[in-house]
Amino acid sequence: MIDIAVSKARRREVLDCVIVGAGPAGLTAALYLRRFHRNVRIIDAGASRAGRIPRANNIAGFPDGIAGTQLLQRMNRHLRQVDGYVVHGTVVRIEQGPDDLFAVSLADQQLWTRNVILCTGVVDRRPALPGFEDVAIAGLVRACPVCDGYELTGKCIGVIGDSMQGEREAAFLQHFSQDVRLIRIAGAHCELDVDSAAEARVHRLPGAAQHVAVSKDRKVFVTMDDGSGHRFDVLYTALGVDPCTQLVAALGARLDERGNLVTDSHCRTNVSNLYAAGDVVSALDQISVAVGHAAIAATTVHNSLLPKTA
């Protein structure tokens, strides 16, 4: 089937690159490639993690911070200035065919391309805790202590965690505030290491959280299973993430122990002509890092398409 499709593709348009995901990484990669006059498509399913950021305060050039949705709107506008645009849809399959081409399948069309840059990011694990979504909607939930620790200097911070990761993030946040509490949730799949928490001087609330709510003064109120209540300025979720690598699993792309894609210094995976950028890569999950990955990946793709010199 692939062989027949490739022969048809020769009579159709073959793209220089397909980018999967229109978060900061994907939009940057598309911008660079369009500025290189490359024929590119960027496909997005509309679930960018960046779009859920209430306000990012550690992006250089935005001293007053910027909401994730506003950042994406600005990046989309920049892309349109170079005649780039986002195709809204879901990529359901990526296959390799002869002639070093990829078949990228959406529900209603199939694209053929010489290169793919995967910018699908990660999905945060959310606690199954009554009231949590209300707290998140109120803008009182954070997931990145690197991004937001500074703004919460001296504040009362609750960290929801059920593993060593929760302990590590709570300990990290103690650099910004000594009022940090580690909160276990009911049905946690992994017990916290009490000795490790004590060594890190992380205070752990006894028992498990049963409910969270927003108080009248816009604090987070956590009710534990013993009936006790605790107030926090903000909650951090430290339950981990799930990298979105399903599309390239069948291609044999190498993953690290956390499930992130492993790339070289040019953002190339071990699969020929398959690149990755952003949180889906084994690196620090930061917008600035994702943008850097994308610039490197796009430039490498462009250089690979240049005529070979003797």
The residue from 220, 237, 254 where one domain ends is 237
pLDDT attached to residue 309: 61
Sign of CA dihedral 263, 266, 271, 273: positive
Tens-level pLDDT at each residue, the chain (310 residues):
454 455 554 546 899 999 999 999 999 999 999 999 999 999 999 989 999 898 999 999 999 999 999 999 999 999 999 999 999 999 999 999 878 899 999 999 999 999 999 999 999 999 999 999 999 999 999 999 999 999 999 999 999 998 888 899 999 999 999 999 999 987 655 555 555 544 456 889 999 999 999 999 999 999 999 999 999 999 999 999 999 999 998 899 999 999 999 999 999 999 999 999 999 999 999 999 999 999 999 999 999 999 866 5
The residue from 237, 260, 282 where one domain ends is 237
The answer to whether residues 119 and 8 belong to one domain is yes
The answer to whether residues 252 and 119 belong to one domain is yes
The answer to whether residues 106 and 146 belong to one domain is no
pLDDT attached to residue 200: 55
The residue from 192, 215, 237 where one domain ends is 237
Whole-angstrom distance, CA of residue 92 vs CA of residue 88: 13
pLDDT attached to residue 197: 47
In terms of residues, how long is the chain? 310
Domain count for the chain:
2
In a domain, 252, yes or no: yes
Residues 115 and 121: beta-carbon distance below 8 Å = no
In a domain, 183, yes or no: yes
Sign of CA dihedral 57, 59, 64, 68: negative
The answer to whether residues 166 and 109 belong to one domain is no
Nearest CA to 88 out of 148, 21, 139 is that of 21
Give 202-237 as a DSSP string. Answer: -EE-SS-EEEEEE-TTS-EEEEETTS-EEEESEEEE
Whole-angstrom distance, CA of residue 233 vs CA of residue 53: 17
The answer to whether residues 200 and 155 belong to one domain is yes
The answer to whether residues 118 and 252 belong to one domain is yes
The answer to whether residues 65 and 8 belong to one domain is yes
Q: Which residues form the domain of 292?
A: 2-123+240-305
SS3 state at 309:
coil
Q: In angstroms, how far is the first alpha carbon of the chain from the final one?
A: 37
Q: How far is CA 224 from CA 173, 208, 289, in A?
A: 22, 6, 38
CATH of the domain at 180: 3.50.50.60
The answer to whether residues 300 and 161 belong to one domain is no
Helices marked H in the chain: 2-9, 24-35, 68-80, 132-137, 145-148, 164-173, 194-199, 246-249, 287-305
The answer to whether residues 57 and 42 belong to one domain is yes
The answer to whether residues 96 and 244 belong to one domain is yes
Three-point CA angle 263, 93, 296, nearest 5°: 25
Report the DSSP beta bridge partners of residue 203: 181
> What pTM did the predictor assign?
0.89
In a domain, 310, yes or no: no
The answer to whether residues 132 and 111 belong to one domain is no
pLDDT attached to residue 152: 94
In a domain, 194, yes or no: yes
The answer to whether residues 141 and 230 belong to one domain is yes
